[in-house]
Chain A
Amino acid sequence: MPQFDPTWFVSQIFWLVLVFGALYWLMVKRALPKVSKALDARAERIQGDLDRAAKLQRDAEITAETYEAAIAKARDEAREAIRAAQVATVADLDARQDVLSKELAAQASAAEARIAEASKDAMASVREIAVGTAQAAAGHLIGGNVDEAKAASAVDGILNRQTTH
C-alpha cells in the first residue's frame, strides 16, 4: 500500500504544514473577517430595523394615549363649561327676576302712594266744596251769612260720621 511507504512521509508533512499554515493565515487575515463582517452587518441591520419598529410602535402607543387623554380632557372641559353656563344662566335669570320684581314692587307702592295722595286730595277737595256748598246753602236758607268755620265743623262732623260708618 502506498500509504505505508515512508519515502514521501516527510514531503507530505512538510507541504501539509506549509499549505495548511498558508490557508490558516489567509482565512484569519482575509476571508473570515469578510464573512463575519457581512454576517454582523446583516444581523445589526435586522436588529436595528426591529428596534426601530419597536420604537415606532411605542411612539404610536404614546401618541394614541396622548390623543385619548386630550379627548377625555376636552370632553370634561366641555361638560364643565356647559354646567357653568347653566349655573350662570340660572343665576342671571334669578337676579334679573329679583330686580324686576323689586322694581315692580317699588312701582306698585309708588302708584299706591299716588292713589292715596290723590284720594286724600280728592277728599280734601270734597270737604272744601261741601263746606262751601253747606255755607252757601245755609246762607240761602237762613238768609244771611253763615260762618265758614261753623259750616266746616258741621261738614267735618258728617264726614267723620261717614268715615266711622
Chain B
Amino acid sequence: MAAAADGHGGGGGLDPLHQFEIYPILSINIGGYDVSFTNSSLWMVIAAVVAYLIISRGVGAGSLVPTRMQVVAETLYSTVANMVRDNVGDAGKKYFPFVFTLFMFVLFGNLLGMIPYSFTFTSHLAVTFAMAATIFVTITIIGIMRHGLHFFSLFFPAGAPLATAPILIPIEIISYLSRPVSLSVRLFANMMVGHTLLKVLGSFALMMGAAGILPLGLLVGITALEFLVAALQAYVFTILTCIYLHDAIHLH
C-alpha cells in the first residue's frame, strides 16, 4: 500500500485507510514474537485509563447526593447492571464485572477513536475477533460446566419434531459457531466503515474547494452519526454477550 510506504506520522495524504495503520512506538520482542507497544496499544491504554478514571474518580467519595461525574459513573454502572439483570437474570450477577469492563473498554475505544489523529483499536478485526472468540469460548465452557452434555440440547430446541433434526441441528450448530464471527465483524466493520467515510468526505471537502462546503455539511452530520454508532456498537457488543451468556446459563 502506497500510504504505508511513506511512513507514519503526518503522511498518508488522502488515503482513507491510512488511519488504520499500526506503527510501533516501542519495539518489544518476547520469545521471537513481536509484541511492540504500538499506537493501537497506546489507545488501548488511554481507553482503559479513561474508563477507569471516569468510574473511580467519578464516584469519588460516593456522596449521597451525587456530583455530576458521579451521575455519569452511576448511570454507566446501572445501565450495564440492568442489561445483565434483564438479559441474563440473577445468575449473571457474577459475570457483571466482566461485562461492565467489556462495555467500558469497547465504548471508550470507539469514542476516543473519534478524536482526530487518534487510533481506533476496535476498527481492527484482530482485536474484535480476539474479544469475540474469548467471549465465545468462555461462554461455551460456562454452559458445558453448568449443564454438562445437556448443553448440546441448545442445538435441538425441545418440542421440534424429530424428523427435522437432520436439518435443524446443522443449522443451529452453524448459527452458534458463527456467533464470534458476526460479533467481531459487526464491531470492526462499523468502526472501519464509519472512519473511512469520514476520511473520504473530508478529502472531498478539501478537493472541491469552495463547493467543499457541501461535503463538509455532510461530514458534520456523519460525525454526529458516528458518535451514535460508537456508543451503539459498544452497547450491541455488550448486549449480545449478555444474550449468549443467557443461552449458556438457561439453554433458551
- A residues sitting closer than 8 Å to B (CB atoms) are 1-5, 7-17, 19-20, 22-24, 26-28, 30-32, 34-39, 41-42, 45
Residues of B within 8 A of A12 (CB): 22, 38, 40-41, 121, 124, 126-127, 130
Total number of residue pairs linking A and B with CB closer than 8 Å: 133
Q: Is the CB of A32 within 8 A of B55?
A: yes
Give the docked Cα–Cα distance between A17 and B126 (Å). Answer: 12
Are B126 and A27 in touch, CB under 8 angstroms? Answer: no
> Which of A16, A20, A34, A39 is close to B56, meaning CB atoms less than 8 Å apart?
A34
Give complex CA distance A6, B35 in Å. 12
Q: Is A2's CB under 8 angstroms from B4's CB?
A: yes
Is the CB–CB distance between B36 and A27 below 8 Å? no
- In the complex, which residue of chain A has the Cβ closest to the Cβ of B37? A15
> In the complex, A41→B64 CA distance in Å?
7
Of the candidates A10, A13, A23, A45, which one forms a contact with B105 in the assembled complex, judged by CB atoms under 8 Å apart?
A23
Pair A7/B34 contact, Cβ less than 8 Å: yes
CA–CA, A157 and B167, complex, Å: 162
Is there a chain A Cβ closer than 8 Å to B100's Cβ? Answer: yes
B101 touching A24, Cβ below 8 Å: yes
Given the contacts A11-B41, A23-B104, A3 and B62 also touching, CB distance less than 8 Å? no
Known contacts A12-B126, A31-B55; A19 and B41 CB within 8 A of each other: yes
Q: Do residues A32 and B100 form an inter-chain contact, with CB atoms below 8 A?
A: yes
Tell me which residues across on chain B come within 8 A of A11, comparing CB atoms. Answer: 22, 24, 34-38, 40-41
Q: Are A8 and B51 in contact (CB under 8 A)?
A: no
B155 contacts partner chain A, Cβ-Cβ < 8 Å: no
Is A3 a contact of B125 with CB atoms below 8 Å?
A: yes
Contact status B48-A15, CB under 8 Å: no
B44 within 8 Å of A (CB atoms) = yes
**In chain B, residues 82-122, which have Cβ atoms closer than 8 Å to a Cβ of chain A?**
97-98, 100-101, 104-105, 121
> Which chain B residues lie closer than 8 Å to A1 at the CB level?
17, 20
Complex Cα distance, B74 from A42, in Å, reads: 11
Q: Is the interface of A mostly helix, strand, loop or mixed?
A: helix
For B40, give its contact among A15, A36, A38 (CB under 8 Å): A15
In the bound complex, CA of A11 to CA of B29 (Å): 9
The answer to whether residues A39 and B130 also contact, given A15-B38, A23-B48 and a CB cut-off of 8 A, is no
Chain A CB within 8 A of B123 CB:
yes
Sorted nearest first, the 4 A-B pairs with minimum C-beta distance are A38-B62, A15-B41, A31-B55, A23-B48
Residue ID in chain A nearest B32 by CB atoms: A10
* Chain B residues with CB below 8 A from A2, complex form: 1, 4, 17, 20-22, 124
> Across the two chains, which residue of chain B brings its CB closest to A39?
B74
Task: Select the residue from A7, A9, A16 with max chain B CB neighbours within 10 A.
Answer: A16
Starting from the known contacts A16-B127, A31-B56, A36-B77, 15 additional A-B residue pairs (CB-CB under 8 Å) come to: A1-B17, A2-B21, A3-B20, A3-B126, A4-B125, A11-B36, A15-B40, A19-B41, A23-B104, A26-B48, A30-B56, A32-B77, A32-B97, A38-B62, A41-B64
Q: Nearest-CB distance from B27 to chain A (Å)?
A: 10
Q: A10 to chain B: closest CB distance in Å?
A: 5
**In the complex, are the beta carbons of A34 and B62 less than 8 A apart?**
yes
8 chain-A/chain-B pairs, Cβ below 8 angstroms: A1-B17, A12-B130, A14-B33, A24-B97, A24-B98, A35-B59, A38-B70, A45-B64
